[in-house]
Amino acid sequence: MFDAEGHDDGPPCPRCGSGPTWRFAYAEGFEELECRACGWRSDEEELHALRRATGEVLERERDGASPSLGRPLRA
């Protein structure tokens, strides 16, 4: 689990322009920003990608025999 230290000295929000944003500095060496006015977060895209991925394995319809490997396998 990561532990962050919050500061009220971030740059203006890129979405709404209000500032300053909350800057969360992590001991691991990275930062995240959050806007108090509109709720924008610098990690929105990454969070969206994680929520979008369901982890399901999609299989195609079988249309006959499987393709040959080219040469037989030897044990």
d(CA 37, CA 19): 8
Please tell me the pTM assigned to this model: 0.60
Site of tokens 């044990």: 75
**Residue 18 falls within a domain, yes or no?**
yes
Q: What is the pLDDT of residues 22-62, one digit of tens each?
A: 999 998 889 999 999 999 999 998 888 877 777 776 666 66
Express each pLDDT in 12-23 by its tens digit.
Answer: 999 999 989 999
Could you tell me the two tokens for 72? 């037989």
Counted domains in the chain: 1
Within-domain flag for 37: yes
What is the extent of the structural domain holding 46? Answer: 4-52
SS3 state of residue 5: strand
CA distance 67 to 75: 20
Q: Is residue 45 part of a domain?
A: yes
CA distance 75 to 47: 46
Flag whether 66 is in a domain: no
24 in Cβ contact with 4 (< 8 Å): yes
Q: Do the domain assignments include residue 34?
A: yes
- Would residue 10 count as lying in a domain? yes
